[in-house]
Amino acid sequence: MANNKKHMENLLDDYLKGKEIWRIFRIIAEFVDGVEKLSDIEPAISIFGSARAKPDHPHYKATVELANKLASKGYAIMTGGGGGIMEAANRGAKEAGGRSVGLNIELPFEQQANQYITTYLEFRYFFVRKVMFLKYSSAIVLIPGGFGTLDEFFETMTLIQTERTNPVPVYVYGVDFWKGLFDWLKGSVLDGKYISPRDMNLFKLTDDIDEIVEEIHYALRAR
């Protein structure tokens, strides 16, 4: 009985090790596919925001306008490829005749690819997808959203702050929506000396779409 149990444990061990090895190959394949499809992309602006915003929502309309104006200046627009704000950004880019990139993620709900994508990639792993966003983004704009949008904001801030990625212009649209969070950052976090004053300058909060477009265009031309 003991020998049978040991044999079964060894078989299970081998099975799990095999699964882990295949998972590594799948991760590598996602990196290779991403680099292959995005390596020739023109300067791209990533736009993050809620998957739940409807076409009649002011943030959806503002995002269509923003992406349209950026694409008209020759920038590719890159999103998570789903609905809501992502759809709005891809829509604005496509309607302007620009390159509209969607980096979709496999999820059990919410994430169906939108119809305005011209360059499409699908990922199983969030961290691979994040690497692609940060590697190929020349600027980032955050529109109001939920946990995913907050995650993109803090991940971007962490990597820029720690100099693990090249600094890029980061704009946060929607003063009323973000004000409470940034008041807390200035108060509890900055006053508690958990971040430095210069960290609050890594992004800009605004309600002005034209300001975002012009300042990104100026910054990228200056490079």
| CATH at 171 | 3.40.50.450
The number of folded domains in the chain is 2
Largest CA distance in the chain: 75
Domain that includes residue 181, residue range: 41-222
Q: Which two tokens stand for residue 171?
A: 């704009």
More confident residue, 108 or 25: 25
Phi-psi region of 178 (alpha: psi -120 to 50; beta: other; left: phi over 0): alpha
Domain shared by 151 and 215, yes or no: yes
Q: CA dist 188 to 71, 155, 159, 208, Å?
A: 38, 19, 21, 27
- My answer on whether 139 and 183 are in the same domain is yes
Q: What is the pLDDT of residue 111?
A: 61
Looking at per-residue confidence, does 214 or 16 come out higher? 214
Where are the strands (E) in the chain, listed by range?
Answer: 44-48, 76-79, 100-105, 119-123, 137-142, 170-173, 204-206
Are 139 and 171 within 8 A, CB to CB?
A: yes
Comparing C-alpha atoms, which of 39, 100, 40 is closest to residue 64?
Answer: 100
CB-count exposure of residue 93 (10 Å: 0-12, 13-18, 19+): buried
- Are 112 and 16 in the same domain? no
Tell me: do 46 and 17 sit in the same domain. no
Q: Are residues 105 and 187 located together in one domain of the fold?
A: yes
Q: Any residues with CB less than 8 A from the CB of 146 and at least 6 apart, and which? A: 50, 51, 52
For residue 12, the model assigns a pLDDT of: 47
Domain boundary, last residue among 40, 56, 71? 40
Please indicate, yes or no, whether residues 93 and 121 belong to a single structural domain of this protein: yes
Rounded to the nearest integer, the mean pLDDT of the chain is: 91
Q: Which range has highest mean pLDDT (65-79, 102-116, 117-131)?
A: 65-79
Same domain for 73 and 130, yes or no, is yes
Say yes or no: 107 and 10 in one domain.
no
Residue 62 confidence class, pLDDT cut points 50, 70, 90: very high
Report pTM. 0.88
Count CB-CB contacts under 10 A for residue 197.
Answer: 8
Query: Looking at 21-35, 74-88, 191-205, which range is the least confident one?
Result: 21-35
161 neighbors 153 (Cβ within 8 angstroms): no
Same domain, 27 and 100: no
Same domain, 25 and 106: no
Same domain, 4 and 53: no
Same domain, 24 and 59: no
Average pLDDT over residues 217-222: 92
pLDDT tens digits, 140-171: 999 999 999 999 999 999 999 999 988 999 99
In this predicted structure, what is the pLDDT of residue 109?
64
